[in-house]
Structure 1
Amino acid sequence: MSPRARRILPAVLASIPVLAILLGLGTWQVRRLYWKTDLLAAIARAEAGPPVPLTDTPEPFSKVETSGRFRYDLEAILGVEVRGPVLGTRLVTPLEREGRPTVLVDRGWVPLERRGAAIARPEGPVSVTGYVSPPQDRDFFAATDDTAGRRFYTADPRAIGAALGLSAVMPDLLVALAPPGASPDALPQGAQTLPRPPNSHLGYAITWYGLAASLVGVLVAWSLRKDET
């Protein structure tokens, strides 16, 4: 083996696994990019079209409708959200459906201080249109739920349902959409549109591929410089 090869070979061998990891991460982000692009297109189609009946295994972020009776005696609140100068939260109410699992419905935003606030609570059978929100994972930084006070900070319908004493609850949250023509002052304030998850995967892919290219460039430059000495 030539002296030049002996100088370069260790650096090449050390760079191969790093290069493979960088290329793998870039390729993974490209796949995520295509997946997220398809998901956003599906959400746009769902928003433009009519709602479909809620099934037991709905697609995430699909626009659906279902009917039942609200259990206002088991209302809970979820998270904290500021709108303008007003501190508020999300009002979550179980929707009981005959012969099917109960659905926890995020009916919309309400102020935390509700003195004098007229919150709509329709009686009898109701039909709810909304979108399917997958359950959140509880992480290390999540605030502790106040189950006795029915104040929750992680959107985990099964955990919330268990705390409310419900035995059969769908794992997804149904986020109610505001009816067409609803007053902006009506409470709860339902969602206006379907959510759009961020799509930053192209930037991540460029970053990982760019680091891979930089590694190759540095290795080539170092090899040439060593060859001149």
Structure 2
Amino acid sequence: MFWKRFNSNFKTGYRLFLFHQKRFATKFKGSQPQSNRHLWLLIIPFTTFGLGTWQIFRLQWKVDLIDRLERKMLKSPVPIPFDIKDQLEEFEYRRVTLTGSYDHSREMLMWPRVQINEEKKPIPGNRGSEPGAFVITPFHCNETKSDVLVNRGWVPKARMDPSMRPHGQVQGEIEITAIVRTGDTRGLFGPKNEPENNYWAWRDLEAMSNHAHTDTIWVDADATTTVKGGPIGGQTKVKLRNEHLQYVFTWYALSLATGYMFWQLWKKVKKR
């Protein structure tokens, strides 16, 4: 995958340089250029070199970010703060404990989803990509004195209807361990949420909180909260895409290639 994308990006930049080189050669064919107009082609190798250097800084930033998130996940859970709403960014991906009770009458489903475990890998024996949904349930939290949204975990399509998992609808006051999350954004071509139909494709914290009449607080229940017949907890994705190294190679390779091509063009111009 790395080399496939690298080759694709490299070929695009290479063709761009060839296009402008041919335009230059055609324009001045058989005539002596009156100025050093060809020097503008230096923009390409200098720009791609700058982009490669910028991607090095982006790579370091992403590595540091992943490291911080991993260290957060390893910390022991702490009671969710009363003023968690003012600390969501600081507490994101932090394990917390909550006491309270679920209100299953306001349950929502976020789908389609496939089951994952805490190692972010498909579950063996789950037919690879069996469709299902995340069960999002309001939880009256004693610590915050408010209702919060809890992603209880994944259920298969056959048990998306609550009536098909009565034993999993936990009743009474309990304590859960969960991971604090913030809102998400819809992908460019991703499906839209339809609150009027109670259909949720992505984590729109504001809209889902308004729909369920809760605080704008979201936590993902961890695997220890799983009960027989209920949603499977531990469905938090913490791995971030990190393709900056690929971009570093791409931009530096383009800078080297186009720089060499410019040098060859420069020698031809000097001979005229």
Shorter-chain TM-score tier:
0.7 to 0.9
Counterparts of 1:34 and 1:53 in 2: how far apart (Å)? 32
Q: Are 1:168 and 2:208 counterparts?
A: no
Q: Deviation at 1:12?
A: 1.9
For 2:20, the equivalent position in structure 1 comes to none
Counterparts of 1:19 and 1:103 in 2: how far apart (Å)? 52
Q: TM-score, normalised by structure 1?
A: 0.79
Equivalent of residue 256 in structure 2, options 210, 213, 222:
213
Output aligned runs, 1:74-153, within 5 Å.
74-82=106-114, 84-85=126-127, 86-98=130-142, 99-100=144-145, 102-114=147-159, 116-153=164-201
- Structure 2 CA distance for partners of 1:203 and 1:186, relative to 1, 3 Å: farther
Question: Is this contact kept in 2: 1:77–1:89, CA < 8 A?
Answer: yes
Question: Is this contact kept in 1: 2:165–2:229, CA < 8 A?
Answer: no
Q: Deviation at 1:103?
A: 2.4
Runs of 4+ in 1 over 4 A off after TM superposition: 5-8, 98-101
Instruction: Identify the range of structure 1 (36-45 vs 54-63) with the bigger mean alpha-carbon deviation.
Output: 54-63
Q: Are 1:196 and 2:239 counterparts?
A: yes
Counterparts of 1:192 and 1:108 in 2: how far apart (Å)? 6
Q: CA RMSD in A?
A: 2.9
Counterparts of 1:68 and 1:44 in 2: how far apart (Å)? 28
Counterparts of 1:66 and 1:118 in 2: how far apart (Å)? 23
For 2:26, the equivalent position in structure 1 comes to none
Q: TM-score, normalised by structure 2?
A: 0.68
Question: Is this contact kept in 1: 2:186–2:192, CA < 8 A?
Answer: no
Secondary structure class of the residue paired with 1:32: helix
Matching residue's letter, 2:216: V
> What CA deviation, in whole Å up to 9, does each residue of 1:128-163 have, x standing for no partner?
322233322124423233324422012111111112
Matching residue's letter, 1:178: A
Count of matched residue pairs: 219
Q: Mark the runs of 5 or more structure 1 residues left unpaired by the alignment.
A: none
Counterparts of 1:101 and 1:218 in 2: how far apart (Å)? 65
Matching residue's letter, 1:88: G
Instruction: Identify the range of structure 1 (74-83 vs 189-198) with the bigger mean alpha-carbon deviation.
Output: 189-198
Identity of aligned residues (%): 25
Question: Is this contact kept in 1: 2:95–2:180, CA < 8 A?
Answer: yes
Counterparts of 2:34 and 2:236 in 1: how far apart (Å)? 61
